[in-house]
Structures are given as structure tokens and as C-alpha cells.
Amino acid sequence: MEHKLKIGASAVIIDNAQKKILLIKRASRLPDFPGYWAFPAGTPDPTDESIKETVIREVKEEVGLNFKPTKKMGFYESSTEDKKIVSLVFLGEWDGKVKIQENEVSGYGWFAYDEIHNKKLLLAFAYSEVIEDLHKKGFL
């Protein structure tokens, strides 16, 4: 079977005081990883002039926060039955209060590294790998 390539941008939003990361629960109606936990993320719109604009827009749309990308963590790759998904993951500064977009997001939480593992959260895409990298680098 031929795989389509899907490009995306993801935001790592960390509460530095608590060393907790914001994860959203994907709505059950979404085609890829419904009901799984993820970072705020999405694919470029035709109006986005850069992948940074994509991640800023997606964070605002999905969780209502103002996000300013400050560092690229890198590209992370995953796949589904019919897609290869590559996401550029950004660390950044943020402000505001979380207000989820219920069309795409069914819930959210702030999680410490140990909580993610103890609760055995089902993580979408390559986010397990991202979280391990964040832990190794001392962010979580």
C-alpha cells in the first residue's frame, strides 16, 4: 500500500514551575489516533507562511494559548495504516488560560513525566519519543 506523507507542527508547552507538560486528549471523531493524548498540533493551512505560523495558529485554535516558538526540538516521524506523519516539534514560551476547542479536543491535563508513565497514557504519533527526549534533556 502506498503511504501519503503528512507534515505537521507540534507545540511543547511546559509549566516550568511544576515541570509538567500540557497534553490534550484528541476527540473521538478525529481520523488519526482518536482518544489518544497529544501535544497541540496540526497541519499547515494555505494562509500559513511558515511552519512556525502553523504551530502558533494551532495552539491558539486548540487550547486558546498564545504560543511563541523559541526552539526546534526536531522532526519526529510516525505512521498509520495509510500515512507517514512527520512533525516538527517546537519548544516555546506561552501565556493565557487553557480553553479547549471541543471539536478537536475532548480534554486536557498537565502531567509530570512520572504521571504519564504511571497512568499509562496512550500517546499519539511519536510523542512518547518526544517525552523521553524532554526527560533526558531535563525539561521534565
pLDDT at res. 1: 54
Q: Give the pLDDT mean for 123-129.
A: 95
% of residues, the chain, pLDDT over 70: 98
CA distance 129 to 18: 21
Residue 27 phi/psi, 5-degree rounding, is -60, 150
Residue 2: the pLDDT is 66
Share of the chain above pLDDT 90, in %: 84
Structure pTM?
0.93
- Lookup result for grid cell 533526558: 136
| Residue spans per domain, the chain | 4-133
Alpha-carbon distance of 38 to 65, in angstroms, equals: 16
Q: Give the model's confidence band at 81: pLDDT under 50 very low, under 70 low, under 90 confident, else very high.
A: confident
DSSP 19-52: TEEEEEEEPTT-SSSTT-EE-SEE---TT-SSHH
Class of domain 4-133: alpha beta
**What's the confidence (pLDDT) of residue 80?**
84
pLDDT tens string 33-68? 999 999 999 999 999 999 999 999 999 999 999 999
Q: What's the chain's average pLDDT?
A: 94
